[in-house]
Amino acid sequence: MAILGRLFKANIRQYGMIIALVMIMLLFQILTGGILMQPLNITNLILQNSYILVLAIGMVLVIITGHIDLSVGSVAAVIGATAAILMVHMQVPVWLTILISLLLGALIGAWQGFWIAYVGIPSFIVTLAGMLLFRGLTMVILKGQSIASLPNAFLGISSGFIPDWLSGYATGIHLTTMAIGLLLSAVLIWNELRLRRTRQQYRMETAPAAWFILKLVFLVLVLNGFLWILARYEGIPNLLIILTVLIAAYTFITQRTVIGRHIYATGGNSKAAALSGVKTKRVTFYVFVNMGVLSALAGLIFASRLSAATPKAGTLFELDAIAACFIGGASATGGVGTVIGAIIGGLVMGVMNNGMSLIGVSIDWQQAIKGLVLLLAVAFDFYIKNRSQ
């Protein structure tokens, strides 16, 4: 038990938010009379929060480096507007529009990253200016009007599902989704066993075998239970595939690569990192380039989800993304945070929004409650940090 206690304390931010997410889901499952966990609602929950989760992945890297980005909502809006102009008015193919949009997002990120990394202007000021600039450009591009009639191939980004290649063997259940669940379970078990062997090889502390097996059983049950819910509706949405790829890629980059270590070093102590040979300015620059690309992707997803590009798109996206990162354990002082934590924080916010809407809580009270949750999360972070010191 002492080992488990030490492991829990070492990962208290992540474990605490996972427990909070489970408790919130159970609470709203009871309050909504079981509606929260219905297949249709779970699918809608994924689709409604996908663009915030994409932004949270990029935002957590920005926060880890000790910066902030207030422009992501406006960047998403201007990219969505540009994509609509290209596809509807200029008849540019969907695949080329997506490529152009992502490149434009990278250029926007490079523009802001240059002022922050190489000129030395605080990120708060640069991105605040960017928020106003790109919101204004969105209004100019759209001329105050929405653009609808987007191509079906583009709308499929947010409304499409993976095909059921095994549908010939049964009806009523998306069998391909269940098969993917079994495959992912095998990968999960193999990866956990590999990590455990590595820790034991280097004589690092590990949980007792019984608790390790219990953890594996719990994870496999949760994974397959989640996919079972999706299989009872239309299966796995295209957006969930995109999110899974992004989460896996960015988790690997931050936890297993030199680039990831440089990002944490830059946020932990920029001067010490520079003296150690880390090119902190370059790291900061590319973090904002990455944020621009993910903001563009979020803008494309939102336009696809809304089936239109509107002047008000992306409003308050930056606050939701920042809140997801801080609720997920990122530190306001930099150097701390994980991609998984940001996703968990985003899911906490998404489940709260969805659950409160289902039980009839007004939008005004929803905003107030979300603000309180954000304050408590940051206060918890400072409490843990002060206690460890």
DSSP for 352-389, written as a single string = HHHHHHHTT--HHHHHHHHHHHHHHHHHHHHHHHHHH-
Q: Is residue 155 located within the same domain as residue 171?
A: no
In a domain, 191, yes or no: yes
Dihedral (Cα; 371, 372, 374, 377), 10-degree rounding = 180
Q: How sure is the predictor about 224, in pLDDT bands with cuts at 50, 70 and 90?
A: very high
DSSP code at position 87: I
Q: Is residue 388 predicted with pLDDT exceeding 70?
A: no
In a domain, 85, yes or no: yes
pLDDT at position 389 is: 58
Q: Domain boundary at 205, 236, 267, which?
A: 236
Pick the closest to residue 22 from 365, 347, 359 (CA basis): 347
Distance CA(155)–CA(47), nearest Å, equals 12
In a domain, 5, yes or no: no
pLDDT at position 10 is: 53
123-126: Cβ within 8 A, 24+ apart? 123/62, 123/67, 123/68, 123/69, 123/288, 124/68, 124/70
> Rounded to the nearest 5 degrees, what angle is found at the Cα of 317, between the Cα atoms of 329 and 115?
85
pLDDT at position 4 is: 53
pLDDT at position 377 is: 73
pLDDT at position 298 is: 97
Q: Is residue 146 located within the same domain as residue 165?
A: no
Q: Point out the least confidently predicted range of 95-109, 269-283, 354-368.
A: 354-368
Q: What's the rounded mean pLDDT across residues 209-229?
A: 90
Identity of the residue numbered 109: G
Rounded to the nearest 10 degrees, the angle between the axes of helix 39-64 and helix 280-306 is 160
Q: Is residue 148 located within the same domain as residue 271?
A: yes
- Express each pLDDT in 145-201 by its tens digit: 999 889 999 999 998 999 988 875 556 788 899 999 999 999 999 999 998 898 888
- Express each pLDDT in 320-358 by its tens digit: 999 999 888 888 888 888 999 999 999 999 999 999 999
Give the mean pLDDT of the chain. Answer: 89
- What count of Cα atoms within 13 Å lies in the side-chain half-sphere of residue 136? 6
What's this model's pTM, rounded to 2 decimal places?
A: 0.92
Pick the closest to residue 380 from 341, 339, 353 (CA basis): 341
Q: How sure is the predictor about 202, in pLDDT bands with cuts at 50, 70 and 90?
A: confident
Q: Is residue 231 located within the same domain as residue 281?
A: no
Q: Is residue 132 located within the same domain as residue 61?
A: yes
Q: What's the rounded mean pLDDT across residues 51-75?
A: 96
pLDDT at position 211 is: 83
In a domain, 173, yes or no: yes
Judged by DSSP in three states, 79 sits in helix
CA 159 to the chain's CA centroid: 19
Domain count, the chain: 2
Helix (H), strand (E) at residue 82: helix 72-84
Q: Point out the least confidently predicted range of 28-32, 102-106, 262-266.
A: 28-32
Q: Is residue 3 predicted with pLDDT exceeding 60?
A: no
In a domain, 246, yes or no: no
Q: How sure is the predictor about 107, in pLDDT bands with cuts at 50, 70 and 90?
A: very high
pLDDT at position 77 is: 96
Q: Is residue 181 located within the same domain as residue 121?
A: no
pLDDT at position 288 is: 98
Q: Is residue 36 predicted with pLDDT exceeding 70?
A: yes
In a domain, 363, yes or no: yes
State how far the alpha carbon of 291 is from the alpha carbons of 76, 320, 376, in Å: 11, 15, 26
233 compared with 292, residue with greater pLDDT: 292
Q: Is residue 310 located within the same domain as residue 180?
A: no
Q: Is residue 67 located within the same domain as residue 111?
A: yes
Distance CA(378)–CA(67), nearest Å, equals 16
pLDDT at position 173 is: 87
Q: Which two tokens stand for residue 368?
A: 């107030």
Q: Which residues constitute the domain of residue 230?
A: 161-236
Q: What's the rounded mean pLDDT across residues 206-216?
A: 84
Distance linking the first and last C-alpha atoms of the chain: 24
Q: Is residue 214 located within the same domain as residue 289?
A: no
Longest CA–CA separation in the chain, Å: 65
Q: Is residue 364 predicted with pLDDT exceeding 90?
A: no
